[in-house]
Amino acid sequence: MSVLFYFPKPDYATSRMFIGAGHKVTANPHELYDVCVYTGGEDVSPFLYGEKALPTTHTSIKRDCEEIKQYRADGSDFPKVGICRGAQFLNVMHGGSLWQHVDGHTQSHDIIDEQTSEKLLVTSTHHQMMIPGDDCVVLAYGAQSTERRREGGVWKMKRDPKEDTEWVDPEVIAYPQYNTLCFQPHPEYPGHSDCTAYFFATLMDIVLPEVDKRRAQRERTKSRAIANREAPF
């Protein structure tokens, strides 16, 4: 199935990834797009989740406002995917928050699939990390951070996630009822084909079924409209 992905903020590398997978992309908000893509960039402003910014947090209020406007225009249950900053932004919009600074994440590292326990090497450039909201499902996690910071202080983490489940780092999460996938690594980076494949497999499970439903609904509405126009008086 070819899907039309809309980029409110154009991103060449991510667009190329979707096109390479046989999909279409657009930066035109007036097209009838299927999925909205929120990409990487500046830190999400902490005021969105009720905190003051730490010195390590560097934000763009302009971008926050633009993406909040986009989110509200589409509606909270419109199919959407976030990558890196985009994942963190969507997590916050669905009631989650962020660690404003963590160690161990500005480098390639393994993540572990929650269902299969399969390990996967991913690229990572973020220094913040998602704190999932109540409606979230964690799909994959890492085990990199030993120190986390937010407005309330500094948390030192144990090295064994089996002994302290709060230690694991949520890397891929979903809000199924809102048709939202939050993917913190970078599947668009070259040289990480396994990460790219995992991204599209997860997208297929979480977001694209809703695209099918919406397309079917549009076709039914269109068919009824045609039938009503053609019906004799």
pLDDT computed for residue 69 by the predictor: 98
Q: Please tell me the distance from the alpha carbon of residue 82 to that of residue 193, in angstroms, as a whole number.
A: 19
User: Which range is least confidently modeled, 4-13, 32-41, 63-72, 158-167?
Assistant: 158-167
- The pLDDT of 112-126, averaged and rounded, is 92
Predicted pLDDT of residue 159:
57
Q: Where is average pLDDT lowest: 31-45, 124-138, 163-177?
A: 163-177
pLDDT mean over 82-108: 95
More confident residue, 103 or 90: 90
* Per-residue pLDDT at 232 exceeds 80: no
Domains of the chain listed by start with CATH number? 4-230 (3.40.50.880)
Is residue 133 predicted with pLDDT exceeding 70?
Answer: yes
pLDDT attached to residue 150: 95
Q: Own/partner pairs for 191-199, CB < 8 Å, 24+ apart? A: 192/108, 192/121, 192/122, 192/123, 194/120, 194/121, 195/120, 195/121, 195/122, 195/123, 196/17, 196/21, 198/113, 198/120, 198/140
Instruction: Write out the E strands in the chain.
Output: 4-6, 24-26, 35-38, 80-83, 97-99, 101-102, 109-113, 119-122, 129-131, 137-142, 147-150, 153-156, 169-175, 180-183
| 82/75 Cα distance (integer angstroms) | 15
Q: What percentage of residues in the chain have a pLDDT greater than 90?
A: 78
Q: Which residues contact 70 (CB under 8 A, 6 or more apart)?
A: 8, 36
Please tell me which of 96-110, 192-206, 211-225 the model is most confident about, judged by mean pLDDT: 192-206
At residue 15, what is the residue type? S
Contact 86, 66 (CB under 8 A): no
pLDDT bucket at 79, cuts 50 / 70 / 90:
very high
Q: What is the pLDDT of residues 211-227, one digit of tens each?
A: 999 999 988 887 776 66
Distance CA 102, CA 32 (A): 39
Beta-carbon contacts of 96 under 8 Å, excluding residues fewer than 6 positions away, are 49, 130, 131, 132, 133, 136
pTM: 0.92
Which tokens sit at 229?
């126009």
pLDDT of residue 158: 66
